[in-house]
């Protein structure tokens, strides 16, 4: 069996290795399980790839690859042709998404990070979506991620939970900033539901995030109760999930 080497990392940073490993896993494992795609599934994948190719703050070769993937999909070339030739990283390499055991964290952790990065990029660089048909709809990115989860995410139970949250409140999102905060608050709802669950990594307990050490200004006390300062949370998310907080240590 593989020897697991712990990679030291900074919890205040976002690692490109996690986001690239996410794309690698998503394309080469999750999507590769589908022998062929057509109709609504193909449309879901196309929209997802469009959003990622426009918003992912990747290194130049990865951006180029995503652009090519987007063009190929737009021309409906057989899906297998693409996947077989795609080379992101040799294998997945988790850093900020390492688990203390191999079955913990990894891909689902990186998918959350990718999703937060995409909603933050859409709100800070809305011009990136001009020409895609997604530019005038503040829910467009969230709805695309929602359809990806519903259609392709390997954890079906997670998909059902996410769909229930989306049905309940995604419609209330009216601006790109609200989209960032919607995903943040829903992720915290998932964290609190899963706290103490078997899937929780003891080294990474599920707690309301960002914790006070990462963002003291995000927390306030109102009448003795801990509550969020959402304005500060938004500022923090826009910094944490920005390209300037992404580090290339451990990326290929
Ligand atoms: P994760 O929750 O994966 O978070 C990854 C990182 O994101 C954290 O380390 C932190 O840096 C950051 N972060 C944490 N909270 C927030 C926040 N509120 N906003 C922004 N960033 C944050 N598992 C289940 O067992 N049942 C489910 O129903 C389920 N639903 C899921 C739905 C989706 C859409 C996804 C992507 C995953 C789901 N999972 C579910 C998996 C679960 O949420 C975790 O991803 C997994 O348990 C790994 O947890 P983790 O400790 O790596 O932290």
pTM for the whole structure:
0.95
ipTM above 0.95, yes or no: yes
What does the alpha-carbon distance between residue 115 and residue 121 come to, in Å, rounded to a whole number?
A: 10
Q: How many independent structural domains does the chain possess?
A: 1
CATH number at residue 105: 1.20.120.310
* Residue 191 structure tokens: 């964290």
Q: How far is the CA of 245 from the centre of ligand 1 (A)?
A: 20
In a domain, 155, yes or no: yes
Over 70: is that where the pLDDT of 3 sits?
no
Q: Does ligand 1 have an atom closer than 6 angstroms to the CB of 204?
A: yes
Considering only residues 83 and 164, tell me which one the structure prediction assigns the higher pLDDT: 164
Q: Is the pLDDT reported for residue 81 higher than 70?
A: no
Strands 225-228 and 219-222: antiparallel
Reported as a pLDDT band with limits 50, 70 and 90, residue 84 is: low
Structural domain containing residue 154: 14-247
pLDDT at 109: 98
- Is 5 a member of any domain? no
Q: Tell whether 4 is covered by a domain.
A: no
Within 10 angstroms of residue 161's Cβ, the number of other Cβ atoms is 17
Residue reference for tokens 């998932």 = 190
- Please list, in sequence order, all residues whose beta carbon lies within 8 angstroms of the beta carbon of residue 206, skipping any fewer than 6 positions away: 191, 192, 194, 195, 196, 197, 200
Q: Is 247 helix (H, G, I), strand (E, B) or coil?
A: strand
Residue 78 C-alpha to ligand 1 middle, in angstroms?
Answer: 33
């Amino acid at each position: 069996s593989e020897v697991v080497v712990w990679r030291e990392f900074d919890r205040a940073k976002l690692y490109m290795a996690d986001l690239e490993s996410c794309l690698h896993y998503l394309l080469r494992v999750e999507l590769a399980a589908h022998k062929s795609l057509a109709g609504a599934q193909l449309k879901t994948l196309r929209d997802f790839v469009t959003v990622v190719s426009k918003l992912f703050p990747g290194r130049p070769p990865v951006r180029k690859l995503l652009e090519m993937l987007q063009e190929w999909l737009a021309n409906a070339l057989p899906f297998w042709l693409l996947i077989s030739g795609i080379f992101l990283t040799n294998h997945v390499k988790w850093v900020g998404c390492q688990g203390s055991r191999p079955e913990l964290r990894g891909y689902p952790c990186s998918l959350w990070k990718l999703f937060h990065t995409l909603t933050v990029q859409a709100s800070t660089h809305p011009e990136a979506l001009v020409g895609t048909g997604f530019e005038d709809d503040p829910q467009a990115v969230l709805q695309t991620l929602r359809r990806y989860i519903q259609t392709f995410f390997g954890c079906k139970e997670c998909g059902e939970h996410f769909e229930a949250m989306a049905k309940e409140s995604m419609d209330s999102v009216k601006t790109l900033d609200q989209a960032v905060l919607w995903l943040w608050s829903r992720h915290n709802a998932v964290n609190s539901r899963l706290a103490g669950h078997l899937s929780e990594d003891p080294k990474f307990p599920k707690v309301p995030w960002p914790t006070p050490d990462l963002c003291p200004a995000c927390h306030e006390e109102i009448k003795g109760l801990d509550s969020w300062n959402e304005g500060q949370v938004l500022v923090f998310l826009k910094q944490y999930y920005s390209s300037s907080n992404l580090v290339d240590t451990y990326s290929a």
